[in-house]
Chains A and B, each alone.
Chain A
Amino acid sequence: MRTLTELAPEASQQAPSPRAETGSGAAGQSRIHESAVKHVTGRAAYIDDIPCPADTLHVALGLSPVAHGRLTRLDLEQVKAAPGVVDVITIVDVPGHTDIGPVFPGDPLFVDDEISYVGQVIFAVAAESYQAARKAVRLAEVEIDEQPASLDPVAAAERGEFVRPTHHHQSGDWEQALRDATYVLEGEQFVGGQEHFYLEGQACLVTPSEDEGVVIHTSNQHPSETQKLVAEVLDIPFHAVTAEMRRMGGGFGGKETQASPWACIAALIARRTHRAAKLRLPRAEDMRATGKRHPFHNRYRLGIDDQGVLVGGEITVIGDCGYSPDLSDAVVDRAMFHSDNAYSLGQARVTGHRAKTHTASNTAFRGFGGPQGVMIIEQVMDDIARHIGEDPLTVRKRNLYRPGRDVTHYGQRVEQLQLLHDLIGELEQSSDYWARRQAISDFNRESPIIKKGLALTPVKFGISFTVQHLNQAGALLHVYTDGSVQINHGGTEMGQGLHTKVCQVVARELGLDIERVRITATRTDKVPNTSPTAASSGADLNGQAAKDAASKLRERLFDFAAEHYRLDRDGMRLEGGALVAGQGEAERRLPWAELVQAAYLGRVSLSEKGFYATPLIHYDRNTGKGRPFYYYAHGAAVSEVEVDTLSGEYQVTRVDILHDVGDSLNPAIDIGQVEGAFIQGMGWMTSEELKWNDAGRLVSDGPATYKIPAFGDLPPVMNVKLLEGHPNSQASIYRSKAVGEPPFMLGISVWSALRDALASLADYRVAPQLDTPATPERVLMVAQALRDAQGAA
Chain B
Amino acid sequence: MTQTLTLTVNRQAHELAVAPDTPLLNVLRNDLALNGPKYGCGLGECGACSVLVDGMMARACVLPVSAVVGHEILTLEGLVIEGRLDPVQRAFIEAQAAQCGYCLNGMIISIRALLNHTPRPSMAQLRAALEYNLCRCGTHMEILEAAELAVTINAGESLEAPHE
Contacts and interface: CB of A to CB of B under 8 A. Distances in A.
Interface of A: 30, 32-33, 35-46, 48-49, 51, 196-201, 247-250, 252, 280, 282-283, 494-497, 668-669, 672, 675-680, 702-704, 708-712, 714, 718, 720
A716 B34 CA distance: 36
Contacts of B134: 197, 199, 703, 708, 710
A668 B95 CA distance: 10
Interface string B81-99: 0000100011011001011
A711 B130 contact: yes
Contacts of A494: 100
Given A708-B134, A708-B136, 19 more contacts: A36-B96, A39-B98, A41-B77, A42-B36, A43-B35, A51-B33, A197-B134, A199-B100, A199-B134, A249-B101, A250-B100, A250-B137, A283-B40, A672-B137, A679-B138, A702-B41, A703-B41, A703-B43, A704-B43
B107 to A, nearest CB: 9
Given A39-B104, A41-B89, A249 B98 contact: no
B4 to A, nearest CB: 19
A201 B43 CA distance: 14
A703 B100 CA distance: 19
A36 B93 contact: yes
Contacts of A201: 39-40
Nearest to B93: A36
Contact of B100 (A495, A677, A678): A495
Contact of A42 (B39, B76, B127, B137): B76
B93 A676 contact: no
B108 interface: yes
Nearest to A50: B35
Interface stretch (B63-71, B139-147, B151-159): B139-147
B110 to A, nearest CB: 10
Given A36-B98, A42-B105, A199 B48 contact: yes
Contact of A35 (B42, B76, B80, B101): B101
Contacts of B29: 48-49
Contacts of A704: 43, 45
Given A40-B92, A283-B40, A711-B127, A680 B138 contact: yes
B76 A197 contact: no
Nearest to A494: B100
Main secondary structure of the interface of B (DSSP, over half): loop
B113 interface: no
A668 B48 CA distance: 24
A38 B127 CA distance: 25
Max chain A Cβ within 10 angstroms of own Cβ: one of B42, B93, B100:
B100
A339 B132 CA distance: 37
Contacts of B34: 42
Max chain B Cβ within 10 angstroms of own Cβ: one of A37, A39, A250:
A39
Contact of B101 (A44, A668, A711, A718): A44
B73 interface: no
29 contacts: A33-B96, A40-B89, A40-B90, A40-B108, A42-B35, A42-B36, A42-B37, A199-B100, A200-B38, A247-B101, A250-B100, A283-B42, A494-B100, A495-B99, A495-B100, A495-B101, A668-B96, A672-B139, A675-B138, A675-B139, A676-B139, A678-B138, A680-B136, A702-B45, A708-B136, A710-B131, A710-B132, A714-B127, A714-B140
B132 A41 contact: no
Contacts of B76: 40-42
Contact of B141 (A46, A247, A497, A718): A718
A247 B100 contact: yes
A247 B98 CA distance: 13
A646 B108 CA distance: 39
B149 to A, nearest CB: 13
A495 B104 contact: no
A198 B99 contact: no
Contacts of B80: 41
B43 A283 contact: yes
A199 B85 contact: no
Given A496-B99, A675-B141, A677-B138, A40 B104 contact: yes
Nearest to A709: B138
A30 B95 CA distance: 11
A494 B136 CA distance: 12
A710 to B, nearest CB: 6
A282 B42 contact: yes
A676 B138 contact: yes
Given A40-B89, A46-B38, A250 B102 contact: yes
Contact of A199 (B35, B46, B92, B131): B46
A30 B102 CA distance: 21
A678 B36 CA distance: 28
Contacts of B132: 710
Nearest to A744: B138
Contacts of A35: 98, 101
Contacts of A709: 138, 140
Contacts of B130: 711
Interface string B49-81: 000000000000000000000000001110110
Nearest to B135: A199
Contacts of A36: 92-93, 96, 98
B158 to A, nearest CB: 20
B136 A197 contact: yes
Contacts of B75: 42
B115 interface: no
Contacts of B133: 710-711
A48 B93 contact: no
A676 B45 contact: no
Contacts of A282: 42
A252 B139 CA distance: 14
A193 to B, nearest CB: 16
Nearest to B103: A199
A494 B103 CA distance: 13
Contacts of A712: 127, 131
Nearest to B141: A675
Nearest to B106: A199
A37 B97 CA distance: 11
CB-based closest 10 A-B pairs: A42-B36, A495-B100, A249-B102, A676-B138, A679-B138, A495-B99, A39-B101, A49-B35, A199-B102, A703-B45
Contact of A200 (B85, B100, B108, B127): B100
A9 B99 CA distance: 33
A151 B48 CA distance: 34
B48 to A, nearest CB: 6
Contacts of A37: 85, 93
A739 to B, nearest CB: 12
Max chain B Cβ within 10 angstroms of own Cβ: one of A41, A49, A199:
A199
Contacts of B144: 711, 714
Contacts of A248: 100
A720 B45 CA distance: 29
Nearest to B94: A32
A44 to B, nearest CB: 5
A669 B137 CA distance: 12
Contacts of A708: 134, 136
A702 B45 CA distance: 9
A45 B33 CA distance: 12
